C-alpha cells in the first residue's frame, strides 16, 4: 500500500511550501477534462464535494468537468438534494472516456469495495476523510484528513485557500454535506468543520436545505421500517434489526439512524438482502466507538466494510438467498457482533413484545 500523504500543518502548507490545493490544481494542468467519482450510492458529502471541486477546477483552470454517480441514489433526502440543486450526474458506466481525462475520487478510496473501477489507470487524485484505508499505489495526488468530519470541509478549505467565490448553489451543497456527516450524536466533528459551517452558512440557501431535509418518503421506507421494528432484538446495549429484502441499500442506514435513538442502546445494527448482497449498516451513540473497525472485524473474510468512529457500512456477497442461508448468515453475524462488543451470548429481547404486535394487528 502506498504511503498516504501527510496531513498539512495549521498553515495549510506541506514540506514543499505549496498548499495542498496548489498541488492539486498544478497536477491537473495537463488534463483536458476532469471527471469526479465517489462511492456507490453517493451521499450528500460526496455530492457536495464533487460539486465544490468542479467549481474550483472551472474557476481556476477553466477545464470542463463531469460529475458522476455510481449506482442509483435512493435515499429520499439524497434524491431531493440532486433534484433541488439540479445536479447533473452521469452514471459512471456511461461516461465516454477521452484521452487525457483525469479522474478525481472524493469521499472514498480505491480498493475499498465501495465503487466501480472502469477508470483505474486515469485516477489522478483521491480526496477523503475516512479512516478506512484504501490502496493509493500509483495515485499521483492524495489528501486524506481523518481529523475532518466531512470531505466537504476539506473542499471548502481548498476554495477559501484559492480565493474562489462560492456561489449559493455550491455553498448549499457543501453546507448540507457537512451537516449530514455530523448529524449523529456525539458529533464527529472538529474545529475545521465548525469553521467551514460558519463560513458557508451566510452563503447557502436555507430554504433549499429545509426542502432537502424534509424530503417526501416513499412507501418502501415505511415497509422496511415496519419489518425492522418487528424483527428487532436487544442484547444488552446492542439492538439488531433484520430486514428480509431491502429495495435499496440506503434503507439499512435509514433504519439504524432511527434505531440508535432508542434510549437503552449504544449500538444499532441493521442488515438485509439487497439483490445478491447482504447489506449492513451500523451506528454508535458513544465516543471512541471505532464503528468502522468493529464492522470490519465482524464482516472479516465474508465481505467488505468500513466507516467512521460512530457510523459504518458494509456488504457481503451472497451465493444463496434461500431463507435457510440468510438465517444462517444472520446467526453468524449476530454471534460476531456479540463477541466484538463483549456481550454474553444470551437470548435477545424483542424491542416490541410479540403480544403487543399481535394486539396491534388485531385492533
User: Do the beta carbons of residue 144 and residue 170 sit within 8 Å?
Assistant: no
Q: Could you give the domains of the chain? A: 20-213 (3.90.1640.10), 220-362 (3.10.310.40)
What is the side-by-side order of every strand in the sheet holding 311-317?
Answer: 304-307, 311-317, 277-284, 267-274, 238-245, 233-235, 349-350
Q: Is the pTM of this model over 0.85?
A: no
- High-pLDDT (> 70) share of the chain, %: 91
Q: Is residue 56 helix, strand or coil? A: helix
CA distance 271 to 244: 9
pLDDT at 353 over 50: yes
CA angle 360, 361, 363 (to 5 degrees): 65
* 362, β-bridge pairs: none
pLDDT of residue 13: 57
Query: 92 with 57: CB under 8 angstroms?
Result: no
All cell numbers assigned to 14? 506541506
pLDDT the model gives residue 331: 96
Q: How far is CA 185 from the centre of its chain?
A: 16
* pLDDT tens string 27-65: 999 999 999 999 888 999 999 999 999 999 999 999 999
Band the pLDDT of 6: cuts 50, 70, 90. very low
- Per-residue pLDDT tens for 121-149? 789 999 999 877 778 888 999 999 989 99
Amino acid at each position: 500500500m502506498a504511503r498516504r500523504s501527510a496531513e498539512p500543518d495549521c498553515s495549510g502548507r506541506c514540506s514543499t511550501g505549496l498548499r495542498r490545493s496548489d498541488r492539486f490544481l498544478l497536477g491537473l494542468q495537463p488534463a483536458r477534462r476532469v471527471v469526479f467519482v465517489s462511492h456507490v450510492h453517493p451521499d450528500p458529502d460526496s455530492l457536495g464535494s464533487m460539486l465544490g471541486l468542479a467549481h474550483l477546477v472551472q474557476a481556476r483552470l477553466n477545464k470542463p468537468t463531469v460529475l458522476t454517480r455510481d449506482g442509483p441514489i435512493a435515499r429520499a433526502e439524497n434524491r431531493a438534494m440532486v433534484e433541488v440543486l439540479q445536479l447533473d450526474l452521469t452514471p459512471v458506466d456511461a461516461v465516454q472516456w477521452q484521452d487525457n481525462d483525469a479522474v478525481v475520487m472524493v469521499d472514498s478510496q480505491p480498493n475499498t469495495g465501495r465503487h466501480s473501477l472502469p477508470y483505474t489507470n486515469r485516477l489522478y487524485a483521491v480526496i477523503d476523510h475516512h479512516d478506512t484505508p484504501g490502496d493509493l499505489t500509483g495515485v499521483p495526488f492524495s489528501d486524506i484528513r481523518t481529523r475532518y468530519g466531512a470531505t466537504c470541509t476539506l473542499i471548502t478549505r481548498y476554495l477559501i485557500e484559492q480565493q474562489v467565490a462560492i456561489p449559493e448553489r455550491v455553498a448549499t451543497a457543501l453546507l448540507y454535506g457537512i451537516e449530514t456527516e455530523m448529524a449523529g450524536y456525539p458529533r464527529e466533528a472538529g474545529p475545521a468543520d465548525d469553521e467551514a459551517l460558519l463560513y458557508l452558512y451566510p452563503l447557502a440557501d436555507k430554504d433549499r436545505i429545509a426542502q432537502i431535509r424534509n424530503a417526501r418518503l416513499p412507501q418502501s421506507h415505511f415497509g422496511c421500517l415496519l419489518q425492522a421494528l418487528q424483527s428487532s432484538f436487544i442484547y444488552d446495549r446492542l439492538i439488531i434489526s433484520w430486514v428480509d429484502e431491502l429495495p435499496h441499500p440506503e434503507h439499512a442506514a435509514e433504519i439504524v439512524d432511527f434505531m440508535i435513538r432508542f434510549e437503552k442502546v449504544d449500538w444499532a445494527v441493521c442488515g438485509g438482502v439487497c439483490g445478491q448482497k447482504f447489506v449492513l449498516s451500523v451506528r454508535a451513540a458513544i465516543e471512541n466507538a471505532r464503528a468502522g473497525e468493529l464492522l470490519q472485524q465482524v464482516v472479516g473474510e465474508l465481505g467488505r466494510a468500513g466507516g467512521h468512529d460512530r457510523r459504518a457500512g458494509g456488504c457481503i456477497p451472497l451465493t444463496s438467498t434461500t431463507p435457510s442461508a440468510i438465517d444462517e448468515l444472520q446467526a453468524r453475524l449476530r454471534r460476531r457482533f456479540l463477541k466484538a462488543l463483549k456481550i454474553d451470548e444470551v437470548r435477545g429481547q424483542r424491542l416490541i413484545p410479540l403480544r403487543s404486535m399481535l394486539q396491534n394487528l388485531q385492533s
